[in-house]
Amino acid sequence: LKNTFVRNTIANQALKSYQFCTVATNDTKVSTTEGSKISEVEANAPKKDRLYSRVEVEVKGSDPAVLKSYAWFATTAAGHLGIEVGKCWAQRKPVHDRLTLLKSVHIYKKHRVQYEVRTYFRFMHFNKLTESTLSTFLEYIERNLPEGVALKATKIELQKLPEHLQSPPETV
């Protein structure tokens, strides 16, 4: 019962912000001039969806339990949207940032206090995405980001080979 409730909640929230994968058309008019002739051409060419081979999501925060829970949330949401989940891992040790200060403002150099901030990281890979699915997914996981957690997403796009690389070189 809990699993279906979570699935329905994720699906409902995703559908609210979901951009359907329909072909977008541009209704702009392009004017060209040749001598004294002016012709108007409507550019109704369909917009092609970009393809991404992988999206690398890096999450960092000060509480490893929150990061683990958020990673579970993001991978579950990806599963419901039909996104292929790749590797998901965390660093073994946190990054320590230490600052040593004097206890007193004026003197007593031998009396010090040390402050420490521990930053934990978690990494997730999602494979084989379209641009519309990616924008929907990223918007959804960004809106549900917990407090004190930072997210960084790196997109790796698939592109066509240039013409000069597609055909073999001619021999002389």
pTM: 0.67
Give every CB contact of residue 19 below 8 A, 6+ residues apart in sequence. Answer: 132, 135, 136
Nearest to 158, CA basis, from 127, 116, 133 = 127
Write the CATH number for 87: 3.30.70.600
Show pLDDT as tens, one digit a residue, over the chain (172 residues): 545 544 455 445 544 444 333 333 333 333 334 444 444 444 455 778 899 999 999 999 999 999 999 999 999 999 999 999 999 999 999 999 999 999 888 877 788 999 999 999 999 999 999 999 999 999 999 999 999 999 999 999 999 888 888 877 777 6
Quote the pLDDT of residue 142.
Answer: 96
Number of domain units in the chain: 1
DSSP-derived 3-state class of residue 124 = strand
Rounded CA separation 18/139 (Å): 9
In a domain, 64, yes or no: yes
Beta-strand runs (E) in the chain: 29-34, 37-42, 51-61, 84-90, 95-102, 112-130, 149-158
Asked whether residue 71 is assigned to any structural domain, the reply reads: yes
Token pair for 154: 């790196």
Residue at 41 is within a domain: no
- Structural domain contains residue 171: no
Q: DSSP 3-state assignment of 172?
A: coil
In a domain? residue 111? yes
CB 111 within 8 A of CB 104: yes
Q: Measured between alpha carbons, how far is 50 from 110 in angstroms, rounded to an integer?
A: 61
The pLDDT value recorded for residue 75 is 97
Residue type, 99: L
Does a structural domain hold residue 54?
yes
Q: Which domain holds residue 104?
A: 2-20+47-158
**Buried-state track 137-164, b at ≥16 Cβ within 10 A, e below 16:** bbebbeeeeeeebeeebeeeeeeeeeee
Is 165 a member of any domain? no
In a domain, 69, yes or no: yes
Residue 42: per-residue pLDDT: 43
